[in-house]
Amino acid sequence: MNTHSAVAPRLYIEPEESKVVGLEESKVVNTHTSRGTTFHFY
């Protein structure tokens, strides 16, 4: 599900990617806190 590499803002806005946001939410938050505004989805 690497549709968006560094487009986290879109994931939060787009309902279609809600599933990815929900599943990777914890990772996103951790990455956001560590890297600032750089989001990496694996």
pLDDT number for residue 6: 56
DSSP 17: G
Span 2-40, pLDDT tens digits: 555 555 555 555 555 555 555 556 565 555 555 555 555
pLDDT at 30: 56
Task: Note the pLDDT of residue 29.
Answer: 59
pTM of the entire predicted model: 0.14
Segment 26-30 long-range contacts (CB within 8 Å, at least 24 positions apart): none
pLDDT of residue 16: 56
Residue 28 confidence (pLDDT): 58
Handedness of CA 23, 29, 34, 38 (dihedral sign): positive
